[in-house]
């Protein structure tokens, strides 16, 4: 059964468990397990949700083997500074670019954008011209590569995120640059724009 194979492959590709997918769809993990075994198929509303979550069509989900190298289109909304804070201008950029669906790491397409890196504070991890897939979210965990906005600086930056107690540190990889510390992030107006989930390296 094509659906069973496609669902199993998609869940493995995105590292999603029966329990997690069940919660997303509002069904039990047992129901998901039955779909993967081929003992049952989802109702059409659930099939639509599965297809939307994995960024494919219902026809692709149910009707034919998936192309493992498929691409999706995301908006390239601006350039993000890997040095000091700079302005990310979504209105001036706002153009589409095709990337591999794998770069979304299972995040919904509607919640992701692309940003082009400028500056060298994240070298040798990120280089000018690299394209980041950024999932729009307002929280992060230690070690995440995040995009942050500071209205006091009137700009955005990309850094590695660390939090200890009430102190948030934005850390560059390039040792030429200093860490940026916030001892009271809310009072100092640090806003998370999103977390980087994928990277398309600029071809030299």
Catalytic residue at 36? Answer: no
Task: Please say whether the beta carbons of 99 and 109 come within 8 A.
Answer: no
Cα maximum dimension of the chain: 59
- Verify whether residue 121 is a known catalytic residue: yes
Neighbouring CB atoms inside 10 A of 145's CB total 20
Indicate the pairing of strand 112-118 with strand 131-135: antiparallel
Question: Residue 154: phi, psi to the nearest 5?
Answer: 55, 45
Active-site hit among 94, 121, 176, 181: 121
Instruction: Point out the catalytic residue in the list 23, 36, 159, 175.
Output: 159
The partner residues of 148 in beta bridges, in order of sequence, read 157, 192
Phi, psi of 156 (to 5 degrees): -120, 160
Element (H, E) at 19: helix 18-25
Token readout for 118 is 């400028």
19 C-beta neighbours (distance < 10 Å), count: 12
Are 62 and 3 within 8 A, CB to CB? yes
Are the C-beta atoms of residues 81 and 147 closer than 8 Å to each other?
A: no
Would you name the residues annotated as active-site residues? Answer: 121, 159
């Amino acid at each position: 059964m094509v659906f069973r194979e496609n669902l199993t492959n998609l869940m493995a590709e995105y590292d999603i468990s029966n329990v997690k997918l069940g919660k997303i769809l509002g069904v039990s993990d047992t129901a998901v397990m039955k779909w993967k075994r081929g003992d049952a198929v989802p109702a059409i509303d659930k099939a639509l949700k599965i297809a939307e979550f994995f960024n494919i069509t219902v026809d692709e989900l149910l009707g034919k083997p998936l192309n493992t190298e498929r691409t999706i289109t995301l908006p390239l909304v601006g350039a993000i500074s890997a040095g000091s804070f700079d302005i990310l201008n979504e209105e001036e950029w706002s153009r589409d670019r095709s990337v591999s669906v794998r770069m979304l790491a299972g995040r919904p397409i509607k919640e992701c954008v692309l940003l082009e890196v400028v500056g060298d504070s994240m070298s040798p991890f990120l280089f000018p011209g690299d394209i980041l897939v950024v999932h729009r979210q307002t929280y992060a965990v230690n070690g995440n590569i995040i995009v942050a906005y500071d209205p006091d600086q009137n700009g955005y930056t990309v850094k590695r995120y660390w939090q200890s107690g009430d102190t948030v540190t934005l850390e560059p990889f390039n040792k030429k640059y200093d860490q940026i510390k916030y001892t009271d992030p809310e009072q100092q107006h640090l806003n998370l724009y999103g977390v980087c989930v994928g990277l398309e390296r600029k071809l030299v």
